Structure 1
Amino acid sequence: METFTKQETYIREFDPHDYFDTYYSPKAGALSGEWLKFALTNLHEAFSQGGVKGKNLIDIGAGPAIYQLLTACEVFETIITSDFLEQNRTELQKWLKNEQGALDWMEIVKFVCNLEGNSESWEKKEEKLRRTVKLVLKCDVLKRNPFEPLILQPADCIISCLCLEAPCQDVVSYCTVLKNLKDLLKPGGHILIQSALNSTFYFVGEKRFSSLKLTKEDLKKVFEEAGYEIEKIIVAPREDMSRMDISDYDSYYYVHARKPLTA
């Protein structure tokens, strides 16, 4: 068994429908409770009260998911979402085109609408997100330019949820990835990263994948070493330990940082 999951293994074995069923299916998904409340509340506060807004936003390593963009589409004119895997990009396109068989994010869309005080307009929320997402691109964060050969316009904001611990084998490579992402931001631009701490593995269906074990102490260090100005770090303990066989993380984290104006 691989000690660290290779890109080739992801290409061969990662199933986006199994991922959705394992983590996001209503009520049964392992992340459908605590994680979604944590992540979506943080994003809602950043994009509403926190003043994070602008012309363009880049979403890094979306997997097949769209939930992380539901509030962003209210305050950004253009969204580019991305993932390394073709099968995930295919699922994103199916949802964006409202095709039959697309993953059903309706319950999560409704949750975000309730956060925003628009509990009756979830269909309009989906329509708005579909209009705002302009591109679904291949992204490899281990490359100096994650979108090569494309050169993207610098963004006002970058977000990433539950991504960077998968391709990064150690804290040094995580820091290097943050430096790569910084080049995609305008001076003064925001980066919002959310994920799980102290995780070494996660399952997608019956397939086991590795995860970088990142600690709370690592977070401040890597963002500072990558040259960001940290606005906020939030760590929340995992309360439901009943699904430790699926993933062994013990807490969630949210980092809001900025690229310095002089960078």
Structure 2
Amino acid sequence: MHNETLHTRDYLTEFGTNDYLSAYTRFKTIPWFMEHIKGLVRVFVNNSSHLGNERALEFGGGPTLVSSFVLAQYVQSITFSEYVPNNLKAVNDWINQVDGAFDWTNVFNFIIEQYHQQTGITLSLSECEQRLRTGLQRGGVLRIADVNEQSGCSVLDNPDNYNQFDIILSSFCLEDACLTKETYEKTVERLCMLLKPGGFLVLAHGRNQTFYYVNDKRFFAQYMNEQSARETLERMNLINIQTSAVDRTPNEYSDSDGYFIACGYKKK
């Protein structure tokens, strides 16, 4: 493994999209990941009666469709945004059913199982996938800029997006993208500007993490925990703030000791 820590612009040349996706082919051998999916589903089930159903934004989605699949069961339109072109291509390939696109069937079925266990409602895989494709086609798949530059982001800095989204979800992104705590807080503030009054912000992060590996490439992660995220959301004047966490054992691939979700509502 390489010990040099990569970040920001290095993602454009060093991030292995296929290597990252390969973890999802064996996700049932990764207990913390299954627990994270259960927790994400639980957050939305528990808050479902308070959610608007029109537009959602996934910010920094990587090459994965786990979070957007959950979102698709609640909203009509999903704007998927990401920094790395190869990650966007992986998402577009699935939307357009390109030969060789990553097969999410096993992961999606696991999400459906969790939804059934928590609600008693049985969902159809084909119908859920169609909801996801339709939602992404309506909202669009967009490239975003480096958040450390503080301006020039097609999503964050577009006044037409202010107060437009019922739900904004960012999963395992901001702690890796934001090089300082100040940039993290500013990015969360910019995301909050896009929420409708009463809108729901959901953030998932590695806990107490400073690095993670994709294949043999070591990437920066900002040290965060439930308390620091809660304090940020409080400074954004969000209400009904909730946190939940999943423990894991640090190893040579990541020094995170868990993953957590922090969420809250924009005041009406």
CA distance in structure 1 between the partners assigned to 2:267 and 2:89 by the alignment: 35
Distance in 1, Cα, partners of 2:45 & 2:240: 19
CA gap 1:43/1:4 in 2 versus in 1, 3 angstroms: farther
Which residue of the partner structure matches residue 79 of structure 1?
78
- What corresponds to 1:196 in structure 2? 206
Match of 2:142 in 1: 137
Looking at secondary structure, tell me which structure has more helix per residue.
Answer: 2
Q: Supply the AA of the counterpart residue of 1:99.
A: V
Unpaired runs of 5+ residues, structure 1, are none
One-letter identity of the residue aligned with 2:75? F
| Percent identity over paired residues | 23
**Cα-Cα RMSD:** 2.4
Q: Give, in whole Å, the separation in 1 of the partners of 2:195 and 2:153.
A: 13
Q: Give me the whole-angstrom Cα distance separating, in 1, the residues matched to 2:255 and 2:26.
A: 19
Unmatched 5+ stretches in structure 2: none
Partners of 1:230 and 1:255 within 8 A in 2 = no
Q: Verify the 8 A CA contact 1:145 1:180 in the aligned structure 2.
A: no
The CA distance in 1 between the partners of 2:4 and 2:190, in whole Å, is 25
| Aligned amino acid, residue 253 of structure 1 | F
Report the TM-score when normalising by structure 1.
Answer: 0.87
Q: Residues 245 and 39 from structure 1, CA distance in 2 versus in 1: closer, same or farther, beyond 3 angstroms? A: farther
Q: Which amino acid aligns with 1:202?
A: Y
Shift of 1:27: 3.4
Residue 97 of structure 2 corresponds to which residue in structure 1? 98
Partner residue in 2 for 1:231: 241
Count of aligned pairs = 256
* Range with bigger deviation, 6-15 or 23-32: 23-32
Shift of 1:144: 4.2
**Distance in 2, Cα, partners of 1:252 & 1:182:** 22
Residues 165-198 of structure 1: CA deviation (Å, up to 9, x unaligned): 1111222221111111111111221101112110
Deviation at 1:31, TM superposition (A): 5.6
Deviation at 1:257, TM superposition (A): 1.1
Give the secondary-structure state (helix, strand or coil) at the position aligned to 2:212: strand
Which AA in structure 1 matches 2:84? L
Change (3 A) 1:23 1:152: farther
